[in-house]
Amino acid sequence: MFWKKDGTQVNIIEQVYTDRYFWCNEAVLIEVKNGKSVLISQTQSVGDAYYGNRYLSALTLNGKPLIQKDVPSCPTCAGLLATGYGIEKIDSAELKEISVKINAEFAGINKAVENIKPLLALLQSGMYLVADINAYPTDGNGHFFWDVPNKLTESPTTAYVLTEQYNCIGGIPVYLYPSQSTDSFNEDRVNYYKSRLVERDRFPRAIACSYGEFVNVLIDGHHKAAAAALCGVELPCLTIIPCSGISYNRVNSAKMGMDKIHFGDIQLGLSLFSKTQLTAIRQKIEATNREEVVTLENYNLINRDWDNIYVQSHTHYPDVFELAEAIALEIPEVSDEFIALCFSSIDEDSLRKLNYSILYFSRKDIERAKNVALRCAKLAIDSKLTETAFKVLSKIKNDLEIEQFFIDHLVYDQDKHSALRQIADNYWSD
């Protein structure tokens, strides 16, 4: 238990089972009592001729926005994101208090939560998960995380994603968004954290707040995230995930329903909570839904021309659409056994999995990407899969086997308007 002189309490309630969430290493449920309510999300609804309503919101610290959002009432329609004021300019004694502890070696989530309790005390009263997640140092929309637009710009990470098979995916806070100005960038700090990434289990965690659907706002750890981006690896990150709702499933003749509390994508049964805790959760939801006056402003958080190695680092990670497809398909680790299973039974499901696998290997292992792509391209049984294979192969230059494949295709495909012929024909042009 953590108890401040002002009466604020932060209690760890219990460990949470997270094995089904590949992006989450472990998590604990916490309760904040008499929270200071200075690290909060404020929301205002406004009329919209097309959507009916839009919601303006900002995650604020001491009244200053760390990130800003303008989203439509349609849950699958992308909203707009903008940078905030700059956390380094906000005087927060709590952040200073934990600065040394959060850069120490990671020693498990319980110890980490103890270390950041002064920060957790800044939240409003209610229930939260603190999750040790594998975050991607990209915004999920084609940018290095510290190289996003300052002004309100559409981002698909703000909404649920509908896959081609109409799976609705959301609530997975794995993409990062900065709260610190690029003026704070220090290359020596990046190199220092690069050297420490070799021991990922003990790597000091970054700290972030979930901001709905796929968005994570970095509170601390911008140089850690930059180091992860240069290494092409995920960033170990402690993420604070607020309660996002309570669902009540009714009992019917066919199936017994189960009431659940949602913390992003992680769902916990109501039976886990006492009446006092449920009251705190409902109060948290009511407080979140309370109308505030929100004014979105332009800030100059990003004002640096990044080296190409940073600009292109987003290619090491899936974008939000690729991630949603993987979630919908329940894809485990992409192994040789997994690929063999897909080829052993060609159906609609396996074709989608092969398409994902080619894209996955194109980021992780070029030789395996080539082998799977060539095999899929030669099968030529699905237009989307074949085009994906052609596009990935076209990026692997000076390869005699790929050259011969494209030559053979050009001889066979005489349709000048064929997209595949154009890809093959352009192989030697770059």
Residue pLDDT, tens place only, 327-359: 999 887 889 999 999 999 999 999 999 999 999
Specify the pTM. 0.90
- Say yes or no: 241 and 337 in one domain: no
Strand partners, 45: 55
Tell whether the model's pLDDT for residue 67 goes beyond 80: yes
Decide if 228 is inside a domain: yes
- Say yes or no: 255 and 179 in one domain: yes
Average pLDDT value for the chain = 91
Tell whether the model's pLDDT for residue 81 goes beyond 70: yes
pLDDT at 280: 79
Lowest-confidence segment of 44-58, 173-187, 254-268, 406-420 by average pLDDT: 254-268
C-alpha 120/C-alpha 94 separation (Å) is 9
* Boundary of a domain, candidates 281, 315, 349: 315
CB-CB contact of 129 with 16 (8 Å): yes
- Say yes or no: 337 and 302 in one domain: no
- Say yes or no: 57 and 99 in one domain: yes
219-225 mean pLDDT: 97
| 130: confidence class by pLDDT, cuts 50, 70, 90 | very high
pLDDT at 253: 47
- Say yes or no: 67 and 151 in one domain: yes
* Boundary of a domain, candidates 315, 346, 365: 315
pLDDT in tens, 148-190: 999 999 999 999 999 888 889 999 999 999 999 999 999 999 9
pLDDT at 272: 83
pLDDT at 257: 56
C-alpha 174/C-alpha 352 separation (Å) is 22
Decide if 25 is inside a domain: yes
pLDDT in tens, 140-150: 999 999 999 99
Tell whether the model's pLDDT for residue 58 goes beyond 90: yes
Report percent pLDDT > 90 for the chain: 75
pLDDT at 430: 65
Decide if 43 is inside a domain: yes
Tell whether the model's pLDDT for residue 429 goes beyond 70: yes
What residues have CB less than 8 Å from 46, skipping those under 6 apart? Answer: 53, 54, 55, 56
Tell whether the model's pLDDT for residue 90 goes beyond 50: yes
Count the neighbouring beta carbons within 10 Å of the beta carbon of residue 251. 9
* Boundary of a domain, candidates 259, 287, 315: 315
Domain that holds residue 247: 2-315
Tell whether the model's pLDDT for residue 27 goes beyond 60: yes
pLDDT in tens, 244-287: 888 876 555 455 556 888 999 999 988 888 888 888 788 777 77
Closest CA to 218 of 201, 236, 197: 236
C-alpha 75/C-alpha 193 separation (Å) is 37
SS3 44: strand
- Say yes or no: 348 and 415 in one domain: yes
Please give the tally of structural domains in the chain: 2
Name the token pair of 302.
């990003």
| 404: confidence class by pLDDT, cuts 50, 70, 90 | very high
- Say yes or no: 182 and 63 in one domain: yes
